[in-house]
Structure formats: structure tokens, C-alpha cells
């Protein structure tokens, strides 16, 4: 556990471009330290002591850009800071969803040199869609793959669909 203090990750950028990754990193770290409750809504009136709040605040401040640190300097509660940052940057779903849908619709099996490259791209797009809370079924995934076949391979499409 003491090695977790030595682990570090990138700070939250002023633009919020890396917000989603940053949120996951912070949540994992706070969970490992046993102080994730400092940023979450109180459940069953679970009390968080001042030392835990201070530890979480130090960690969060250490991992945000200097400009953000200055802007939120007056915040003393990690939950309040967490919510303020979420209010400012948690619009990433709105950005990623149209991009992922566009990539999904324009994905073509023929554009890839190998099946591994195609699968990698499919899983990347699927993970973005799942993150944006889009339901993906196996038949939906298969239908999209079939629809990417070139028109000259219509027989293959029909064989695989059967």
C-alpha cells in the first residue's frame, strides 16, 4: 500500500481534455487509500473525519493544473471541489457520443490490414459508446460488421447473417 503514494498520474488540464481519465485515476487512488467517501454523497450518514478530507484535498489539488488550483483555492471540502470540477468539465459525454457514433457508422472492415486492427478499433469505439451509456447488443455489433463488407462481398454478408 505504501507504494501507492509514489504512483503518480497526469494533472487535470485547464481545458479539461483529460478529465475522464483523470476522474478514473483519482477515484481509484482514493478508493485504494480508503477515503473515496470524501468525494461521494454521504451514504448511510457515513462520517468522514477532517484528516481524511485533508488528505483527499491535498491529493486532488496536487493533481490539477496550477490555474485550476488558483481558481478553486477557496474550496476546503473535497466533495465541493469535486462537484465544482464535475460541473465544469463533465460534459465529455456530449462530446464523445457524436464522435463515437460517427466513427461507428463510418467503420469499414476493408480499411484495416488485419482483423486485429479492426477488432481494436471496434473495441475502442464500443468502450466509448458504453461510457456514453449506449446499449450495445451482440447482434448490433455483428450487423455493423456485416454492413462494412464491400458490395462485391454481398454473398459473404448473406452467409454470415444466416
- Burial letters 31-40, b for 16+ CB under 10 A, else e: eebebbbbbe
69-120 pLDDT, tens digit per residue, is: 999 999 999 999 999 999 998 887 777 888 888 888 888 777 888 889 988 9
Q: What pLDDT sits at residue 59?
A: 93
9-54 pLDDT, tens digit per residue, is: 788 999 888 888 899 899 999 999 999 989 987 655 567 788 999 9
Amino acid at each position: 500500500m505504501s507504494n501507492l503514494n509514489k504512483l503518480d498520474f497526469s494533472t487535470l488540464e485547464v481545458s479539461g481534455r483529460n478529465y475522464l481519465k483523470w476522474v478514473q485515476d483519482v477515484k481509484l487512488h482514493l478508493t485504494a487509500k480508503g477515503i473515496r467517501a470524501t468525494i461521494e454523497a454521504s451514504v448511510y450518514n457515513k462520517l468522514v473525519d477532517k484528516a481524511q478530507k485533508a488528505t483527499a484535498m491535498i491529493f486532488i489539488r496536487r493533481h490539477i493544473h496550477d490555474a485550476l488550483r488558483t481558481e478553486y483555492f477557496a474550496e476546503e471540502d473535497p466533495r465541493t471541489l469535486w462537484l465544482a470540477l464535475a460541473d465544469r468539465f463533465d460534459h465529455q459525454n456530449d462530446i464523445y457520443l457524436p464522435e463515437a457514433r460517427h466513427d461507428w457508422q463510418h467503420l469499414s472492415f476493408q480499411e484495416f490490414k488485419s482483423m486485429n486492427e479492426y477488432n481494436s478499433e471496434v473495441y475502442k469505439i464500443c468502450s466509448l459508446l458504453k461510457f456514453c451509456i449506449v446499449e450495445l447488443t451482440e447482434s448490433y455489433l455483428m450487423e455493423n460488421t456485416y454492413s462494412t463488407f464491400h458490395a462485391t462481398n454481398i454473398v459473404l454478408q448473406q452467409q454470415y447473417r444466416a
